[in-house]
């Protein structure tokens, strides 16, 4: 922890997420990930797939034994769709129940419900284009429904004692810089700035951070390679290719001004979680093993930058 910044990691940085856990036999088990994260010097971890790291008080005990806090958990919800939104409320409540169960065991900032849009098949199949083509976005009526639905979910989190954050995501309706700005203008909640997704979504995350610093309450720090994203667009590939073609390299190996972002967070007295995410979709046992090395590298990069 440097000042008010607490550095965490995430299971997806090791290739462990909903598309691999329980599917790919090479995925490390949850306790092995916790050991790796602790040994690399991180102070916390994101939840990842429900149950992967442990359940309830069991998870709290596992985190406490390794000196790790819980940074948050990610959930996609179709805010403009009342029926679809209602169907996701049990998942939201389960997330918050996990936070409650873990709370007595861990130190550090409280975990944040990290909310994202569920997107659509069309947007998932056409990533990285909306920053140039606003016709791909929601119309005025859908924005109104979206904002109303989001406000309902935010109230539910706050009623449970947790301040949420919104995560913009490639392949959803909150992807391009203009969509992120409209979200902030139509809501009072904070933003999880994901530096890698913002970069491949057509924006400059360092400049955006300087403009919207007061609304950013959570940060996913990742690097990104614009040339890889350009290739995905040129080849007309879906969002899945962002992971399989590894648009997010280790810190310092892409186009994001990681040093400038970290320096600004320190200078502006940011308080909260700074979570290293390096989204990957490993295809081999060797790539899973290399992921652990990448996360040690990423922690050293941030340590050299002062956090």
Tell whether the model's pLDDT for residue 2 goes beyond 60: no
What is the average pLDDT across 6-18? 95
* Residue 1 predicted with pLDDT over 70: no
pTM listed for this prediction: 0.96
Task: List, as one string, the DSSP characters of 227-254.
Answer: HHHHHHHHTT--THHHHHTTSS-STTSS
| pLDDT band at residue 22 under the 50/70/90 scheme | confident
d(CA 130, CA 186): 19
Confidence check: pLDDT of 283 > 90 = no
Here the CATH number for the domain that contains residue 112 is: 3.20.20.150
| % of the chain surpassing 70 pLDDT | 99
Is pLDDT at 3 greater than 80 in this prediction? no
Quick: pLDDT tens for 27-61.
Answer: 889 999 999 999 999 999 999 998 999 999 999 99
Torsion sign (Cα): 40, 43, 48, 53: positive
Kindly state the average pLDDT of the residues 264-270: 97
- Total structural domains in the chain? 1
Q: What rounded mean pLDDT belongs to the chain?
A: 96
- Rounded alpha-carbon distances, angstroms, from residue 126 to 129, 153, 198: 7, 27, 16
Task: Give the separation between CA 274 and CA 183, rounded to whole angstroms.
Answer: 22
Q: What's the average model confidence in pLDDT over 210-221?
A: 98
Residue found under tokens 């948050």: 72
Q: What stretch of H or E contains 98?
A: helix 82-102
pLDDT in tens, 85-97: 999 999 999 999 9
> What's the confidence (pLDDT) of residue 155?
98
> Which domain covers residue 137, as residue numbers?
5-304
């Amino acid at each position: 922890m440097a000042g008010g910044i607490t550095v965490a990691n995430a299971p997806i940085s090791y290739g462990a997420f909903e598309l691999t856990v329980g599917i790919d036999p090479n995925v490390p088990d949850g306790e092995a990930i916790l050991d790796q994260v602790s040994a690399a010097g991180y102070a916390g971890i994101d939840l990842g797939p429900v149950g992967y790291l442990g359940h309830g008080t069991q998870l709290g005990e596992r985190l406490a034994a390794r000196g790790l806090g819980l940074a948050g958990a990610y959930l996609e919800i179709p805010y403009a769709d009342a029926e679809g939104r209602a169907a996701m409320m049990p998942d939201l409540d389960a997330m918050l129940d996990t936070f409650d169960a873990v709370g007595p065991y861990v130190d550090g900032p409280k975990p944040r419900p990290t909310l994202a849009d569920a997107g659509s098949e069309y947007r998932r199949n056409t990533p990285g284009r909306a920053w140039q083509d606003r016709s791909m976005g929601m119309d005025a009526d859908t924005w109104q429904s979206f904002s109303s639905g989001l406000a309902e979910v935010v109230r539910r989190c706050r009623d449970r004692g947790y301040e949420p954050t919104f995560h913009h995501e490639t392949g959803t309706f909150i992807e391009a810089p203009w969509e992120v700005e409209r979200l902030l203008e139509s809501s009072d909640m904070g933003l999880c700035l994901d530096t890698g997704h913002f970069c491949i979504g057509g924006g400059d995350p360092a400049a955006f951070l300087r403009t919207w610093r007061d609304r950013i309450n959570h940060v996913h720090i990742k690097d990104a390679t614009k040339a890889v994203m350009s290739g995905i667009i040129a080849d007309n590939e879906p969002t899945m290719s962002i992971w399989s073609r590894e648009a997010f390299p280790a810190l310092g190996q892409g186009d994001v001004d990681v040093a400038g972002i970290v320096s600004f967070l320190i200078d502006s007295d940011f308080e909260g979680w700074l979570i290293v995410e390096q989204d990957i979709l490993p295809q081999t046992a060797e790539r899973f093993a290399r992921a652990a090395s990448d996360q040690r590298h990423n922690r050293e990069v941030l340590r050299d930058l002062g956090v």
